[in-house]
Structure 1
Amino acid sequence: MTALEPLLQHPTRLTVLAFLSGCTEAEFSAVRDYCQVSDSVLSKTATALEEAGYVTVKKGYVGKRPKTWLAATRAGNKALAGHLASLQAIVAAAEAAGAAHG
């Protein structure tokens, strides 16, 4: 069984990485709106995931407006898959133990 990823045990970090795993990249505001968090919370979350190598952060402009895009890395997708597999294994083991217990 793969161990749970400590960084992904926080619901916001898990949600951000899960959202990003479904797309090539996403604009900061789209991730913020989906996760229903403030700019500062998403910024801190993105920084933590970037430091772990799970997310890339790209800054640029659209016209004169500054924009930030986030994307999951291969390592991030692998960590997410392992974390989810561990959660599924925990649930399966608990269900089997419960069924055996009565």
Structure 2
Amino acid sequence: MHAPTRLSLLSLLSATDRIEFGLLRDGLALSDSALSKQLGILEEAGLVALERDGVGRGKRVRVRMTDSGRRTFDDHVAALQAIVRRGAPGPPSQSTSAS
């Protein structure tokens, strides 16, 4: 999931129940083959599921995040947020020295 493309893909999926392949492709500005490759990796990891219906040119593919994928994504986002909070110190203190 750490690859930026896969993280972006999961981010789009997290906001919806399912989304059509073409909308994902266009939203991520990927080619069909690049999106297919990324989805294959996520599907193999059990993070997304592909729903296919129809045949030939009428074939539609919808992508949804699995329950496991949603939990994994939410945990990953929470971990990233914790890193940002820890790594974002306040403004530097202004010290003045008296002569």
Per the normalisation by structure 1, the TM-score is 0.82
1:87 counterpart letter in structure 2: L
Q: More helix by proportion, 1 or 2? A: 1
Which of 22, 26, 29 is the aligned partner of 2:15? 22
Which of 69, 82, 93 is the aligned partner of 2:86? 93
What is the CA–CA distance in structure 1 between the aligned matches of 2:59 and 2:91, rounded to whole Å? 58
Specify the alignment match of 1:33 in structure 2. 26
Specify the alignment match of 1:76 in structure 2. 69
How far did residue 23 of structure 1 move? Answer: 1.2
SS at match of 1:9: coil
What is the CA–CA distance in structure 1 between the aligned matches of 2:75 and 2:9, rounded to whole Å? 16
What is the CA–CA distance in structure 1 between the aligned matches of 2:57 and 2:28, rounded to whole Å? 26
How far did residue 100 of structure 1 move? Answer: 8.4
> Which one has a bigger Cα radius of gyration?
2
What is the CA–CA distance in structure 1 between the aligned matches of 2:56 and 2:29, rounded to whole Å? 26
Total equivalences in the alignment: 93
Q: 1:60 to 1:86 in 2, by over 3 A?
A: same
2:70 counterpart letter in structure 1: N
Per the normalisation by structure 2, the TM-score is 0.84
Consecutive aligned runs of 4 or more in structure 1 exceeding 4 Å deviation:
none
CA RMSD of aligned residues (A): 1.9
Percentage of matched positions with identical amino acids: 37
The answer to which structure, 1 or 2, has the higher relative contact order (CA under 8 A, 6+ apart) is 1
Gaps of 5+ in 2: 94-99
Alignment deviations for residues 19-68 of structure 1 (CA, whole Å, 9 cap, x no partner):
11111111100010011111011000110110111100111128961111
Specify the alignment match of 1:4 in structure 2. none
